[in-house]
Amino acid sequence: MSSPSPLPPLSPPSCPGPRAPARRAFLLAALPARLVLCLAPVLLAGCWALANRPVAAQGAARLASADPGWLLAGAALTCLTWVAAACVRQGALPDRLPAGLLLASQFAAGAANHVLPGGLGAHAVTLRFLRTRGVPLDRATASIGLYSLARSAARTLVLLVFLAACPAHRRLGGLVPDGPVPVPAAAAAGGALAVAGVLLTVVRPVRRPVTGLVRAALRDARAVHGRPCRVAALWGGAAAMPLAQAGTLICVGASLGLGLPWEQVALAHLAAGTAAGAVPAPGGLAVDAALVWTLVSFGAVPAAAAATVIGYRVLTDWLPLLPGALTLSALIRAKAL
């Protein structure tokens, strides 16, 4: 009778390696930071509303007596600006992006613009969104540059069309400062370009990433302009954005009895936005001041012009601020940003 075969030796019980407790501790430590990151936009929105409560209360009181039909039309045009921004973002990149998430990211980017000036908040949110979609950093940065270039060029073309079609543009001459003010500005711009050229020529660690970024931008620009759908999204959306924003201002002015023709209100919006676009003021403060000044120069009553700008800012920025902050928090929580 054959003896039974020996049993295989028992393996020692598996125990979690030293990395498992360390990983759990890292996750527990990162949880409060992630919670703060998700709640930060909501807290910033609340602090901003508290700091600007007199202006917000005045704008709400003015809007309470406005024509609700015109205000509803202005709100619809405001929503179109986010759709146009999403079209420009998609048109600036050859890769296909999910339409729903892209639109949500542009809606959330509006809340981020109240924290960082000059559109940096929207660009930061978009850059993070593109990185989570797998777009390399150089190509994502290049798409933001193409987006900004298309917006500036399209806005300038629309402004030139209105300047040629509206005879009231002669009144804008009073808004140009007298004296040698443009000379120092041109000298500062030339000096900045000269310093940048020297840095790119001499400093190799700066030259290499910049040249790589330029190559990626040119490559993606050629790919985008080789596809008619991308060209239509890029340039059509870039032209639609200032027109939709000017349309919102026209609707608010009509609801409050501004008393100016629609083409003058649109020209005032385009001229004020172009003149104040270089001022790094968050929340559009410089644009608001220039817009009131431009409307008054066209013949509007100062009180009506101020009320129109306040109502415009309520529709475009203040009312979407809390929903945009909540959307931003939801996108962060869902790891879409």
Q: d(Cα 232, Cα 242) in Å, to the nearest integer?
A: 16
Q: How many CB atoms lie within 10 A of CB 28?
A: 9
Q: d(Cα 99, Cα 87) in Å, to the nearest integer?
A: 9
Q: What is the DSSP annotation of 204-267?
A: HHHHHHHHHHHHHHHHHHHHHHTSHHHHIIIIIHHHHHHHHHHHHHHHHHHHTT----HHHHHH
- What are the φ and ψ backbone dihedral angles of 136, each rounded to 5 degrees? -60, 160
Q: How many CB atoms lie within 10 A of CB 226?
A: 10
pLDDT at site 215: 83
pLDDT at site 127: 92
Q: Which residues neighbour 114 within 8 Å (Cβ) at sequence distance 6 or greater? A: 44, 45, 48, 121, 282, 283, 317, 321
110 neighbors 324 (Cβ within 8 angstroms): yes
Low pLDDT (below 70) residues in the chain: 1-63, 115-118, 168-207, 275-286
Domain ranges of the chain: 55-175+193-333
Give the tokens for residue 328: 């931003």
- What are the φ and ψ backbone dihedral angles of 14, each rounded to 5 degrees? -70, 135
pLDDT at site 31: 46
pLDDT at site 26: 44
pLDDT at site 92: 93
Q: Say which DSSP state 113 is in.
A: T
291 neighbors 311 (Cβ within 8 angstroms): no
pLDDT at site 13: 47
